[in-house]
Amino acid sequence: MGAPLLSIPALATSRTGRRVVLGFFSTVALVALIVFAPLIAVPLALAGYALPTVPPPGTNSGPVASGEWGYPLAGEYSKGRGYGYNPVNGCSYCSTDHKGYDMAQGCGNTVHAAGAGVVIVAGSHYGWGNTVLIDHGSGVETLYGHMQWGSIRVSVGQHVTAGTPLGAEGNTGRSFGCHLHYEVREDGVAIDPQPFMAALGLPLK
């Protein structure tokens, strides 16, 4: 009985022995995982807990959506200037007649398409700096201004859906601190984004 026990240390010091030992422990770990995983998952499921899942490739865990539309930022944000007369103290170049809705999460946060459409601007665009403009059809367009230089992830002519990442929140163009200038247009004329989004079931702050 002593000879087999003495042969184990000798086996573990050889290359073949190490492979055998490694294979043995890998098999034991795999069997333990197969046996014990259901013992953990089933009680959690019965208690109402869901194990985290990995989204399939190509899906987007972007902002909250309502139908074919969603918010341009995912999660909580700070509201800046709203639509209409909104002067900015200390900013001589900022327009007092604000044509959009400013929202901020911080420099570098991802900006998403609010709805499906075709990208018609992707780059420098007048006072909005680094900008994406999307044509949604039926005369409706959305504009995403002041994004970081080099952050735009779409191109002109590209079809996007609600939640498609467009770029990163920045401070380009005639901007006064990092934020997203979100603008909605109907037949080329800027309208107040708040009632537009509220009608889609997506109220802004």
CATH code at position 112: 2.70.70.10
pLDDT band of 151, cuts 50, 70, 90 = very high
pLDDT for the residue 191: 98
pLDDT for the residue 41: 45
C-alpha closest to that of 81 among 174, 199, 188: 174
- Residue 23's domain comprises 2-46
Whether residues 15 and 109 fall in one domain: no
- Please check whether residue 12 lies inside any domain of the structure: yes
Whether residues 109 and 181 fall in one domain: yes
Whether residues 16 and 74 fall in one domain: no
Q: Identify which has the larger pLDDT, 164 or 8.
A: 164
pLDDT for the residue 91: 74
Whether residues 194 and 157 fall in one domain: yes
- Is beta strand 84-85 parallel, antiparallel or unpaired with respect to 140-147? unpaired
Residues 6+ apart with CB under 8 A from 70: 62, 63, 64, 112, 114, 115, 162, 163, 202
* pLDDT tens sequence across 172-186: 999 989 999 999 999
Instruction: Give 148's DSSP letter.
Output: P
pLDDT for the residue 36: 58
- Please check whether residue 146 lies inside any domain of the structure: yes
- If one counts the domains in the chain, the total is 2
* pLDDT tens sequence across 100-110: 999 999 999 99
